[in-house]
Amino acid sequence: MSDERNVTNGLPSYAAPAGGRLTEEMLQDFRNTGVLILRDFVTRAACKTLRERANELVAGFDPYEVRSVFSTTSQPQLDDDYFIQSGDKIRFFLESDAFDESGELRQEKEHSLNKMGHAMHDLDPVFDSFSRTPELAEVARRIGFVEPAILQSMYIFKPPNIGGDVVCHQDSTYIYTEPESCVGFWFALEDATTENGCMYFIPGGHRLPLKKRNYRGPDGKLVTETLDDTPWPEERKLAAEANAGTLVVFDGRAPHLSAANRSPKSRHAYTLHVIDRQCRYPAENWLQRSAELPLRGFE
């Protein structure tokens, strides 16, 4: 029953429609809440394939080499550069608690990472084929994209015991276009629960103003400007628990957060951020790509 409506803790949740053909009811829910949960959008086998490919990429990463670059926390510019230059690369970002006082990893390498980003979808064939399917293209079309472009991909590890929390934010803060067009496509690659740090959304919060904007200042450093300092109505947040294979589509303005993972289970997820090429992409956004890696849509 592809069009059976359901809710996940008050958030709109449906069995994934055939071919990504969102119904008018689904679209209505998305417009009203800023969030749409589509269960079993991808198979568990596809999730496993992506997790295995991520593991292979992790195997080629040396955390001690990266650590030597950020040997002290007093070098925020190096930190910024490593991040800022990752828009057209595959880079690894460690959890802040990855190392102990003596400088050794507390857990094995694959359980020390916060994320990998930000161009796997354009650089790695396995990520490319996961990210570009006719179903995703159809979802993007139905939610109103005219010329969708997959700006970035992120593999989120949320490792056991040390997976950090993410405070309430809007993705359009970081992925800003004029007019705003950012939409997140978040895939649960493992079951995400309140125990292992699932996401929370404030339903309808996408109608709130954009509260912050992050950009490169004149000196190249990243600045986060507060546009509206009203606190988030976090008392209205709802957990978006999601089994592996679930796709959560959410508006770039939709406020969301996740708690730390103190459980023994990892919570791997994969996110695509999509913008419309018809909108202006500011030169001061942190993510800039080299001309050798042109933006592509879902085809």
Binding site for Fe ion (CB under 5 A): 171
Residue closer to Fe ion by CB (options 39, 273) is: 273
**d(C-alpha 145, C-alpha 274), whole Å:** 9
**d(C-alpha 90, C-alpha 174), whole Å:** 18
Residue closer to Fe ion by CB (options 41, 174) is: 174
CB of 246 to Fe ion, least distance (A): 16
**d(C-alpha 3, C-alpha 13), whole Å:** 10
Q: CB-based contacts of 134: which residues, under 8 Å, 6+ apart?
A: 19, 20, 298
CB of 75 to Fe ion, least distance (A): 25
CB of 256 to Fe ion, least distance (A): 6
CB of 205 to Fe ion, least distance (A): 13
CB of 62 to Fe ion, least distance (A): 28
Residue nearest Fe ion, CB atom distance: 171
CB of 88 to Fe ion, least distance (A): 20
Residue closer to Fe ion by CB (options 122, 171) is: 171
Residue closer to Fe ion by CB (options 8, 152) is: 152
**d(C-alpha 160, C-alpha 269), whole Å:** 13
Residue 131's Cβ-count burial label (10 Å; 0-12, 13-18, 19+) is buried
CB of 29 to Fe ion, least distance (A): 20
CB of 182 to Fe ion, least distance (A): 10
Phi and psi, residue 187, nearest 5°: -110, 125
Q: Give the tokens for residue 274.
A: 């999509």
DSSP code of residue 280: B
The helices-and-strands tally (H runs, E runs) of the chain is 7, 15
User: Rounded to 5 degrees, what angle do the CA atoms 96, 102, 103 make?
Assistant: 45
**In this structure, are residues 237 and 201 in contact, taking their beta carbons and an 8 Å threshold?**
yes
**d(C-alpha 281, C-alpha 162), whole Å:** 35
**d(C-alpha 238, C-alpha 199), whole Å:** 8
Residue closer to Fe ion by CB (options 171, 180) is: 171
Residue closer to Fe ion by CB (options 41, 200) is: 200
Q: Give the tokens for residue 168.
A: 């309430």
CB neighbours (10 Å) of residue 229? 7
